[in-house]
Structure formats: structure tokens, C-alpha cells
A and B are shown apart, each in its own frame.
Chain A
Amino acid sequence: MKDFKQARWNEPVIFELGRQGRRGFIVPKVEGLIKECVGDIGTLLPEKMVRKSSPELPELSEVEVVRHFTRLSQMNYCVDLGLYPLGSCTMKYNPKIDDLLAHQPSLTQLHPYQDEKTIQGILEILYVLGKWLAEITGTFEVSLQPAAGAHGELLGALIMRAFHKLNGGLSERTQLIVPDSAHGTNPASATMAGFDVVIVPSDKNGCININALREVVSGKTAGLMLTNPNTLGIFEENIEEIAEVIHEAGGLLYYDGANLNAILGKARPGDMGFDIVHINIHKTFGTPHGGGGPGAGPVGVSQQLESFLPIPRVVFDGIDYHLDYDKPHTIGKVKSFYGNIGVLLRAYAYILSLGSEGLKTAAEISVLNANYLLKKIAEIGAYDLPYDTERVRKHECVFSVKGLKQETGVTALNVSKRLLDYGIHAPTAYFPLIVEEALMIEPTESFKKEELDRFVEAMRRVAEEAKATPETVLKAPMNTAVTRLDEVKASHPKTMILSWKMHQKRKKASR
């Protein structure tokens, strides 16, 4: 394995840089005539609202600003550097052409309240993108408004509310069912939308326990939130029966689209009976994650739920595109304006680049890659594969470090950290919660076989090290910008530092 060493700059906090009087940017001067006309600034603002002392921001030259942030950037791993097998996050390649197009002034300089005559181009893109996403998910109509997957979940749960309210059943339908393998956002979104969360356990195959589901379903059921393939990467084969159980009870079926990448062009949530579907644009459609966001979380719904979607909706009269606010049953708005347009435009470009065949290929190769990794990692013999070992997975697979831990004391966290030393980002650790010491691995379609092999080799080495020289694994990482961080201290009320100001206060107090 080639050596890896991340850059380390020991870079001060920006507040420690600069010097009084330095300037990073010159603000355009106000024309003399304007000053003559309106007079002194002091007369224009209410005395008691004028800022008395300048904000204590650092004073830096442009050059220092660029160096500081460039140095910071060098201490950050990213998809363009290599394998990033974070399960559930679909860290695929982010095409450069999509970024380039998203930076056109014909998009960046558009104001959302411009006259419809002047925004026909962007409305066309949004309208068509909505249609494409509806086709991909098998839904009737799509809203592009939510800013992320979880925001889509909130919208979806609110649509359930609105649906039951209109049908007079909201006061009884207080429960939203969520599998124990679900992502944390599912129960959190359900609570935000005012529902009580009911957990349904998984069966021995890692799928929803259908008998347990029947038991918890009742007249109180508002709906069920499900990921399919689920967070173990297993396709919920009983989806027909699950849909039947929920629909017969008068509930709605919600699709968490985090794993849509596995089935693009192969199967559609709408066809499986899902009534509401969110899409994580930043996962499935290759838009950059930006170190945590922005993403976009469009929501598609079946025909019966169309009238609840947020306003405005982009509509087409055959000649022109319009923003339609006249939707009496709408749930209203989940944010200002129309959605994360800069992200959505990239998704439009992505779909156009791949086309129907390319999207299907993406799904297929993501599944091929995941099953290839599954086989190769299982062959190492050090990591356990929970649930049906014979069964194919879809786009991701989940291993457990439990056995290795018992044998050597090395945990999923330690394995993750040691992988960093090999210049590979760790898988998602400790999720889903139903797998002890979980490592959730999603290679996506973007990585070549040689890189997958390198990952397998790294996993093998870590297992060997765990047995031979466990200290190497336990004290990892050593090759990253910093070694293991004290996360306990970071979150302890007595020691936590959440801003530079807090740091200064603590320093003063300790003097």
C-alpha cells in the first residue's frame, strides 16, 4: 500500500492572524454627488441603533485570506482525492461541467421575484427537472422546494397530516411508523410534524418484520416511512405486502430516497405503492456535498396528494412557464422561494449527461461494486456479515466488527480511524443501529475496480494489524492532519469551546 500523509499546516484561527489597518477588500466609493445630496451618514440612522464599536473581526490583507483558507482546504479529504465509501451518503463523483454551468451569471444573478417574462429559462429547467424526477420515481408530481432530504421528510410528513386532516382523520391518526433500521432523520421528522413515533423491528433477514408491522398498525396509523433498499442495503422483498398493510389501515407510505441510487431505471418507488417520495439530489444526482450542504430534497407524490404540495408550483401553459400560488389545499411553504436552485441545476445537467441508459448503468455498477466489495471483504474472514449472508445486497453492505472486537479490542471506530491512515475515508460507522459495531460501506459507481481492491487490501491489513499489533489500530490515525481528537472534552459543558469569543472568555477566566 502506498504511503499517505495528509498536509498539516498548524494554521492559527483567523482571529489570530492579520494586523490592525490591513484591508482585504475595497468597497466602491459613493459618488460625491450622492453625499452632497443626502448628507452625512450620521443623520440617516437613529442614534441609538448605530453600532458603537466595530465588530471584532480580524483585519487581513487579501493575500492572507487566500493563504489561510487554501491551507485549511489542504487539510480536508474529498471525493476528488479518492474512495469515500460512506454508507448511505452516496459519495459519487461530482461532474465538473455541472459546477461550471451552475456558475453562469444567467443563473447566479437571477432574483427570485423577477417578472416571469425575464425568468423563462430557469422556470423551464425547473419544470422539466420536476417531470424527470417524477418519471424516475414513478410519482405524479414533484415539488423542488425542500433544501435537503430531512427537509423533504418534514414536508412529506406534513403532507400526510394535511391528507388525514382533509379526510377528517387527523385527530385519530397520530402515529408514524418507522423501522428500527431507519436513519435518525425519519423519527426526528415525524416528531417535527407532530406525530408519535412507533418503531417496528426488523426480522432475521434485516427486513421489516411483517408480523410485527401488522401488530402495530391500527386506526391510529398515519403512515410508514421506509427506505428501499433499506439501510442494510437489502431490498425489502415484501414491499407489496407492506404497502397493502399500510394502505388497508388507511395510512400512507413514505419513501426515504437516500438509497434511490441502487434502483435508478430498474424499479420505481411509485410503482411499489409509495405515496410520497423524497430524493436526496446531493446523493443520487451527483451534486457536491460542500462539506455538509447545500443539498436539495425534492418530494414527489401520487395523484391523490398532488394538491397538498407547497407553493408556488412551476406550471406550463403550452407557451410560457408560470409560478402558480393558487393551491387551496397546499401545506404552504417549508422555506423561502423555490428551493436550492444552484443544486437543482446541477442535477438537471447530471441527468442530461447520463440519460436514461447512463442512470441505469450508474445503478447497476453501484450494485455490482457493492456486491464485489461484500464478497472480497467477507473473504478476509475478520469482519462478520450480519443477516442473510447468501443474499445479494444492493448499493451498500454492512459489516460488523463485533467478532474482531471480542478477539482484539479493536472497534468499528478504530478500524475507521486506521483506514484514514491509508488515505481512504472510513465507511459510516455505528449505523444502522440494529448492527453492533457496524461499518456501512457504499462504494457508488464512481470508483474503479483497482480502487475497490485497494480498499479491500486496506481492510485486510487493518484486520491483520488488529491481531498482530493492536496498538497501531487503537492509536490511529497518525497520518492525518491531526491525531485522535478529544471529543469528550469538546462536548463537556465545562470545557467546550463553540466560538472564538468563548475561547477568549475561558482563557480569561483561567488566568
Chain B
Amino acid sequence: MVRYSFKRLKDRFERIHISLVQNLAKAISHPYIPNSEFKTKQSMLKELRIENIDELYLDVPNQYRLKRRLDLPRTKSESEVKHHIESILKKNTTNQDMPVFLGAGCWPHYVPAVVENIIQRTELLTAYTPYQPEISQGVLQLLFEYQSLICELTGMDVANSSLYDWASALGEAARMANRLTGRQEILIPQIIHPERYATLTTYMEPVEIRAEKVKYEKDTGLFDLQSLEDKVSDKTAAVYVENPSYLGFIESQGEEIANVAHDHGALFIVGVDPISLGILKPPGDYGADIVIGEGQPLGNHMNFGGPLLGIFACSGEIAMIRQLPGRVIGMTTTQDGDNRGYCMVLQTREQHIRRHKATSNICSNESLCAAASAVYMALLGPSGLRDLGETITLRSHYAMKRLSEIEGITTPIFQSSHFKEFTVNFEERGVQEVHNKLLEHNVHGGKDISTEFPEFGRTGLYCVTETHSKKDIDNLAEALEEILKEGGV
């Protein structure tokens, strides 16, 4: 029997212990975490005169220290991560596998390679909010250009550098109108996207702003001006319309509505799909005080509905500007006056300075999406946006025409001009049933709106953009023809 002295035993254990610790430490040195490498870590611990990192957590009361491993997967290699996620994403079917005719607040548009390339540049991608303007001129000038391009497109004087999306921009617009007028009511169209409406009420409820819905004209879907006259009063903070509307028709009475609003001391807010503004009149030309909208079509992918880009622009009166929510970038000069430069401005409106009296709580916004939109607008220019608007108009009208020739379909349900989106009524047949059969034809139909708007019967909302070819539209028409001929279940 070999007899070890106690000392030797102890030494031996210590050696084993150290090598165990070292191996363990090696195992957890992670590529993203340079100082997890054993020797560096030990030297830093030594510098702090402690033996292990847990000593830095002694101030966390014992009962709250997690005594187990988080129930999450174990560390994976990059190739495993890639394989794992790609194999899950493969279960999706996208508009590259089948034509998809969905819009309703998130739209398929082509994103030019230049846009993708620029916003993937790491200098823009991995930068924070430009709190130190001198070293962040790139992002600042880009966002100033975004604001300026949005102003040109919408016909407004001032724009902020983004909000989360159209829906939350609507909420912010209602609250801004409330602050400016001290009034508690906003008039909105009855035909409005249900998600925008839901978000609006979320933003208004805490400060007791009410939304009143203005009726639409039965034949055209347009604002019923009589209903507007009936509802508007000196309690109205703002009148809100959308152009194109949720159901794709163009609200052509902008000026009349603006006049009614202004006659009663209310603001006029217009929500837009900016891709229409290459050919449609900008809201600034028909009296808008605030323009909001969804910037996603301008160079941002759909990404299953997010991130999006909330556009927020307004007229140039100082009272309006002081109530703007969100970050605004301004052009200035260096202190010596020698050079141009850019920085965040009017920060006394914002939460980090004004705190509970701020015009909004927004901090992180959608800058990179705004950057994508700036590149997109610069690339397309006035002629590109006009061509695109025409292409979308022609293609969507072609689709309406083709579908309206099919027995059992009425499209659109309103006798109005449409842009990009339109209603398709299936008369006898359920929208879901038609939708399921379309999927069998490898075509994804529009959005079923028969439960949100029962008054329109069995109706779907279809969207056609420049990404839908004539062949896609013909395929849709042929499939529908076949499905409707087959008869119901």
C-alpha cells in the first residue's frame, strides 16, 4: 500500500483542481468575449484582488442568486447555429415560392441592391444614436437627408428622423393634436386598418382622447362630408384621413376635409403610403398639418411585419415643431463657423431632458430603416418614383379588370380610383374557402376582411405592386376562375 503524506495529497489535489479549472475555463472562452480567455481573466481578477468572479456578485442577496444553469440550449458553433436556424426558416413559404397578394400595411416591393449594400455597411449598422455628433456625421447627415427627402415627398416643411411604425405614429399624432388644441376628440374614417385603430386607441385611452368614426359614402367609400359636418365641432382636435385608404381607394376630397377641419380650429392629419407620392398629390398641397405614414415600402423588406418605419412630418410653425415627438436632426456649422455639420436638435422636447413632460417617450427609433428609405428615394429620384407609381397603378388596375371579368367576383366594391390595393368580393363563396383553394394552386390570395368589415360581405383585400408580373396576375385570375367554376363545397 502506497502511503501519501498529507502534504503530497494536498498538492496532488490542487494540481488536479487547477487543471480542471483551466480546462473548464478554456471550454468557456467564447469568440465574442475576448477576456473570457483564462490567463487574461486571471490577471484581471488578480488586479481586483479577488479569486473568482462570483465575488463581484456578493452584493446580490443570496436568495436571488441563480443556483442552477438557465434552461437554455448549450453553446453552439456558428455552423450549427446557421444550420439550425436555416432549417427552421425553411418551413416558411414566401413570395419567392408563390405569388402573394397581401398588403394591408406591409407591402412587397423590390429593394434595390444599393439600398441593401449601404445599410449593411458596418459603420452605419453598428453605431449607436449619434450622441457625439462630431464622430457621427455619417448617420446624422444621412438622417437629415432622410428628413429632407420625406419633406419633399409629402410637401411638408419638417420631418422627424422616424417613429416605430404608421400605427404608433398615428397614436403620437393624436396626442400631439391634443396637446396643441387642448381638445379631446379626433375624427377618423370608419374605413381604417383595424390594427392602426387598435394602436390609436391604446395611445389615446390614458389621456382620454376619444375617436369618432366618420361615415363613408356607400358607393365610393370616400369620407361622407355630411357625416363629417355633423360630427365636427369646437371639441375636435383633429380630423384624420388616409390616402390611399386602407381598402386602396384614393380619398379625393382632401381639400374639402382640410377646410372643414380648419374652420373648426382642428388640425388635419393625413396618413400615407409614401410609394404613392410619385404620382399622387402630396398632402402638403391639400392642407395637411401633420403627415404620417408607413415608410417600409421605401427600401425596406417586409420581414414578417417588422421593423417598419413610422413617418412623421408637419408644417413649419414653431408651435408645431415644439410639439414634435421623436428625434430631429438639424444642419448647423462648426463653432468656428468654417464648416457645415449636423447634430440632434430641439432635445428639450425629449425624454432624456424633459422627462415626464416630454412630447413622447420614444428613445431608440427606426434610424436604419430611415437610412434605407433615404438611399431608396435618392436612387429612384422623381422619375423613378413616378414610373413606379405608374407601374403599380397599371398592374393593379389590370388585376382588377381581369378579376372583374370572372363570374362570381365583384371588384372593387367601391366606384372609386384605386392605387395598389383593392377589394375583391366573392359574392356566393366564403373568402376562406377561396383562399384555401388558391393555396392549392400555389397562389396566396389577399387578406380576408369579412370579419373586420361584415358590411362588405365576403370580401378580401388584394394588393398588386411592381413585384407582381402579368403572369402572376393571370395565374391568379385563372385559378380563381377555376375555383369559382367548381362550385361550393
Contact = CB atoms under 8 A, between A and B. Distances in A.
A287 to B, nearest CB: 10
Given A45-B280, A355-B73, A448 B108 contact: no
Contact of B47 (A81, A239, A375, A481): A375
B8 interface: no
Contacts of B207: 194
Contact of A110 (B117, B302, B342): B302
Interface in A102-150: 103-115, 117-122, 124-125, 132, 135-136, 147-150
A372 B44 contact: yes
A411 to B, nearest CB: 14
Interface in A19-56: 22-31, 33-35, 37-38, 41, 44-46, 48-52, 54-56
Contacts of A387: none
Given A45-B280, A267-B60, A289 B126 contact: yes
Interface string A202-242: 00000000000000000000000000000000110101100
Given A74-B138, A106-B94, A81 B123 contact: yes
A147 B366 contact: yes
Given A490-B332, A498-B321, A109 B94 contact: yes
A271 interface: yes
A201 interface: no
Interface stretch (A246-254, A340-348, A396-404): A340-348
B240 interface: no
Contacts of B1: none
A309 interface: no
Contacts of A358: 28, 30, 32-33, 75
B281 interface: yes
Given A23-B384, A483-B335, A104 B86 contact: yes
A497 to B, nearest CB: 4
B386 to A, nearest CB: 6
A66 B114 contact: yes
Contacts of B120: 99, 103
Interface string B17-35: 0000000000010101111
Interface string A321-355: 00000000001111111111111010011011111
16 contacts: A25-B379, A55-B385, A57-B385, A75-B136, A93-B32, A103-B120, A120-B92, A290-B366, A291-B136, A292-B162, A335-B165, A336-B167, A337-B195, A343-B306, A362-B30, A372-B48
Which of B95, B126, B335, B380 neighbours the largest number of chain A CB atoms within 10 Å of its CB? B126
B198 A293 contact: no
B129 interface: yes
Interface residues of A, number: 210
Contact of B363 (A77, A150, A193, A496): A150
Nearest to B168: A335
A72 interface: yes
Contacts of B30: 354, 358, 361-362
A272 interface: yes
B122 A80 contact: yes
B65 interface: yes
Interface stretch (B51-59, B225-233, B261-269, B479-487): B51-59
B34 A447 contact: yes
A369 B351 CA distance: 30
A336 B199 contact: yes
Contact of A119 (B125, B161, B202, B304): B304
A184 B353 CA distance: 7
A172 to B, nearest CB: 16
A408 interface: no
B358 A340 contact: no
Interface stretch (A153-161, A299-307, A463-471): A153-161
Nearest to B377: A57
Contact of B305 (A58, A65, A124, A336): A336
Nearest 8 A-B pairs (CB), nearest first?
A194-B206, A290-B368, A337-B305, A112-B305, A76-B138, A292-B367, A121-B91, A355-B75
Given A68-B378, A78-B123, A352-B85, A342 B201 contact: no
B165 A336 contact: yes
A105 B110 CA distance: 12
A458 interface: no
B192 interface: no
Interface stretch (B144-152, B181-189, B406-414): B144-152
Nearest to A148: B364
A188 B127 CA distance: 25
B458 interface: no
Interface in A400-452: 416-417, 420, 425-426, 428, 431, 445-449
Contacts of A103: 116, 120
B431 interface: no
Contact of B141 (A72, A100, A193, A426): A72
Given A41-B394, A115-B439, A291-B367, A78 B444 contact: no
A500 interface: yes
Nearest to A94: B126
Interface string B49-90: 000010111111101111001111111101001101110111
Interface string B149-173: 1011100011101101111100000
Nearest to A393: B56
Interface in B411-430: 417, 419
Contacts of A68: 378
Contacts of A150: 351, 361-364
A385 interface: no
